[in-house]
Amino acid sequence: MKTWLLIGIAGMALVTVACTPMFMVSKGEKRGVYLGSNSKGTYDMLCASGDLKEVLEATHFSREMKDTFYQYNCSAERSSDKVKQLFSSMTSEQKKDIKAAFKEKGYSINGGTC
């Protein structure tokens, strides 16, 4: 009985992770963080390190989109809701572009398949 309960919980967790609109990034031994999260870990990994600027420069986004993406993730106006809205408005090609840019800069990508 416990086995079926654990299988059910694992299945629900997998569906939840598989359907998140945002994706998780990790680099090296650092714990993964969700893009757009307001956590200190996300800020430190992507913003304080300067990595998000490098990732955005590696994309084919317009200057305005790069600036907006950076602002919503790294400025005093950080907002996970605005990042999610921006990400939801992106085309599939733009989403592939930013994921490829993260990979090019040494990040691993997880999730964000919805």
How is the chain split into domains, by residue range? 2-110
Tokens of residue 13, six digits: 């967790």
Question: What's the confidence (pLDDT) of residue 38?
Answer: 87
**pLDDT tens-digit readout, 4-57:** 544 545 444 444 444 445 789 999 887 888 888 888 999 999 999 999 999 999
What's the pTM value of the predicted model, to 2 decimals? Answer: 0.76
Which residues, in sequence order, are bridge partners of residue 109?
25
Instruction: Report, as an integer, the average pLDDT of 70-85.
Output: 92
Residues above pLDDT 70, as percent of the chain: 78
Instruction: Report, as an integer, the average pLDDT of 72-94.
Output: 92
